[in-house]
């Protein structure tokens, strides 16, 4: 299969039903994307697939043929931090950090589709991303901060 990950094209020989999460982590060594539950219940494996935030554990490799994938490694373009990543640091969101790559990618997608989300919108979009450390208040604050930063350019 062909797959572009963080701007780099790859040719891979994998089973068509291999989850994209496996392709990224085990075949390409892109380990920023995390395995949490394997059944789309936690959001830890969230990536952008052709611009859409998706649970990589649910995407068969065949469904990602020719797609462009963005993971936490590529979110800021590689060298710089994305506004959401900067806000995450400023708000000191992470505790253990395991879920945060998925949280950040989901939040970045939210702000692409809704530049000034309400609290309800944030909760609706982000509630599929679980955090055992309970960082939800800081996640919400960081999203508001990132939204403001992006609006100010």
Partner 1 sequence: MIRFLVLVLFTGSAAAQEVTVDPPEDGSVSRAEGLAAWERVHDVVSHPRCANCHVGADNIPMWSGPSYGETRPHGMFISGGESRIGAEFLPCSACHVTLDAGQSRTDGPHRPPQVALDWRLAPVDFQWFGRSSAEICAQMADPDRTGGRDWVALAEHLRDDAGHGGFVKWGFDPGGGRAPAPYGLQAHIDDVLTWGAAGTPCETGG
Residues that bind partner 1 (CB under 8 A): 16-17, 19, 39-41, 52-55, 58-60, 62-63, 121, 123-125, 127-128
Helix and strand counts by DSSP (H, E) for the chain: 5, 5
Nearer to partner 1, 56 or 89 (CB): 56
Closest distance of CB 88 from partner 1, Å: 20
Closest contact distance (angstroms) between CB of 11 and partner 1 is: 20
Nearer CB in complex with partner 1: 8/108: 108
Closest distance between partner 1 and the C-beta of residue 52, in Å?
7
Q: Which is nearer to partner 1, 4 or 58 (CB)?
A: 58
CB atoms within 10 A of CB 32: 18
């Amino acid at each position: 299969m062909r797959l572009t990950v963080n701007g780099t094209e790859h040719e891979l020989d994998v089973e068509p039903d291999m989850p994209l999460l496996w392709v990224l982590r085990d075949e390409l060594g892109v380990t920023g994307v995390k395995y949490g539950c394997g059944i789309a219940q936690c959001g830890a494996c969230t990536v952008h697939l052709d611009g859409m935030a998706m649970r990589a554990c649910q995407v068969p490799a065949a469904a990602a043929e020719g797609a462009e994938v963005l993971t936490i490694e590529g979110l800021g373009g590689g060298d710089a931090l994305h506004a959401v990543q900067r806000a995450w640091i400023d708000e000191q969101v992470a505790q253990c950090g395991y879920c945060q790559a998925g949280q950040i990618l989901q939040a970045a997608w939210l702000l692409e589709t809704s530049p000034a989300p309400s609290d309800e919108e944030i909760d609706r979009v982000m509630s599929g991303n679980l955090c055992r450390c309970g960082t939800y208040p800081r996640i919400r604050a960081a999203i508001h901060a990132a939204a403001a930063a992006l609006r100010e350019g």
